[in-house]
């Protein structure tokens, strides 16, 4: 992250990327008060391994388009807990049972947290209808 002013915009763009691949229960933990290398932990859940990989791929593409380099990636092939390390921002993508088991949120329970509202509706093409014509 280049400046404090840029953080909310970048964070929101990464959260939007998560939501675009149907990630949910998105939580940002402010780590700036801790002697760690990252500023923000971003946690999200995915329903299955395919979805967790899709979220990871989309977050990685979005971050790259914002000028961020991926420093390290773990857990991608297994898919139940994927970690994307962008140095200042670390993204954790969990299957629900794995997230519940490790409960990272409780490890940093005294850190400031921002919860993002889940996106459950289609914003674009609200009037979208789909019809199937019978074949002759």
Residue 12 belongs to domain with CATH number? 3.30.460.10
CA distance 103 to 49: 19
Q: pLDDT tens track of the chain, all 136 residues?
A: 444 444 558 899 999 999 999 999 999 999 988 877 789 999 999 999 999 999 999 999 999 999 999 999 999 999 999 999 999 999 999 999 999 999 998 988 889 999 999 986 555 555 555 567 676 6
* CB-based burial label for 134 (10 Å; 0-12, 13-18, 19+): exposed
Q: Are the C-beta atoms of 86 and 63 separated by less than 8 Å?
A: yes
Measured CA to CA in angstroms, residue 86 lies from 9, 37, 103 at distances of: 16, 10, 21
Any domain includes 125: no
**How many structural domains is the chain composed of?**
1
* Domain region containing 21: 4-114
Any domain includes 41: yes
> How confident is the model at residue 108, as a pLDDT?
85
């Amino acid at each position: 992250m280049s400046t404090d002013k840029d953080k909310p915009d970048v964070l929101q763009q990464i959260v939007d990327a998560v939501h675009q691949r149907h990630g949910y229960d998105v939580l940002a933990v402010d780590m700036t008060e801790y002697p760690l290398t990252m500023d923000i932990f971003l946690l999200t859940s995915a329903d299955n391994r395919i979805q967790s990989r899709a979220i990871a791929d989309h977050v990685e593409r979005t971050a790259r388009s914002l000028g961020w380099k991926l420093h390290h990636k773990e857990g991608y092939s297994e898919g139940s807990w994927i970690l994307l390390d962008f140095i200042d921002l670390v993204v954790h993508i969990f299957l629900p049972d794995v997230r519940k088991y490790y409960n990272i949120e409780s490890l940093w329970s005294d850190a400031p947290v921002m919860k993002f509202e889940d996106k459950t509706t289609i914003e674009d093409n609200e009037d979208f209808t789909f019809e199937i014509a019978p074949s002759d």
